[in-house]
Amino acid sequence: MRKVGIITLNGYFNYGNRLQNYALERVLRSFDCDTSTIKVQNIDASTSKDTVLYRLQRIVRKDKGEILDKLQRKTRNIIHKTEIKESTRIRTEIFKDFTKKHIRETDLTISNGDINKDIIEQYDFFVAGSDQVWNPYYVQGSSTYFLDFAPKEKRISYAASFGVATLPEEYKENYREFIINILHLSVREEAAAKIIKDLTGKDALVHVDPT
């Protein structure tokens, strides 16, 4: 049985994220793989220049009604801060409980430039996906999500997503180098396949999201 390490977006705050992680593990196990999800420590992207600009652009594209609705929600959040904090705590505990029961997470955490070489030897393959693991505004172009720590022959993506239709110019050079070294490429959208084709000339399979 082949041992596979999954690299995806970690966290205990999002239904879609948890379900995609669970579904990807199930899909890989159906291929007779022994899977586990390796936790990745992300840098805080919430205040980065690119992320702030991205959010401002999204606001500009919204109409006045949407902006007003968002301001009203923000106001309610401030008024009900204590209740929201408690609700978030309970929600997080529920997600952690789900993860403990249904997702096989490793105890150790990796990050850019801090990856124990023993991990590489433990797995036959590493799979990046199936969430927006290549969204530059989520992961700040982190090479970890492109599996650069592993030998080329161990790198696979499954239904990976950029989360954007067009890749920002400043990320293209690094992304090209990261992607061209992935042995088997699979993405979840035609737009993602086009980005890869334009960047590297390589064809990527388009797979439906495992959820």
Per-residue pLDDT in tens (0 to 9) along the chain, 211 residues? 999 999 999 888 888 999 999 999 999 999 999 999 999 987 544 444 554 454 455 445 555 566 667 666 666 666 667 777 888 899 999 999 999 999 999 988 898 877 888 889 999 999 999 999 999 998 888 999 999 999 999 999 999 999 999 999 999 999 999 999 999 999 999 999 999 999 999 999 999 989 8
Residues in the chain: 211
Nearest to 37 by CA among 114, 92, 143, 119: 119
Residue ranges of domains in the chain:
2-42+103-206
| Amino acid (one-letter) located at 192 | A
Whether pTM exceeds 0.85: no
Q: Residue 138 is encoded by which pair of tokens?
A: 């989520």
Specify whether the CB–CB gap between 148 and 179 falls below 8 A: no
Dmax over CA atoms of the chain, in Å, equals 56
Q: How far apart are CA 150 and CA 117, in angstroms?
A: 9
- Tell me the CATH number of domain 2-42+103-206, given options 1.10.220, 3.30.460, 1.25.40, 3.40.50: 3.40.50
> Among all chains, which residue has been given the structure tokens 């590489």?
120
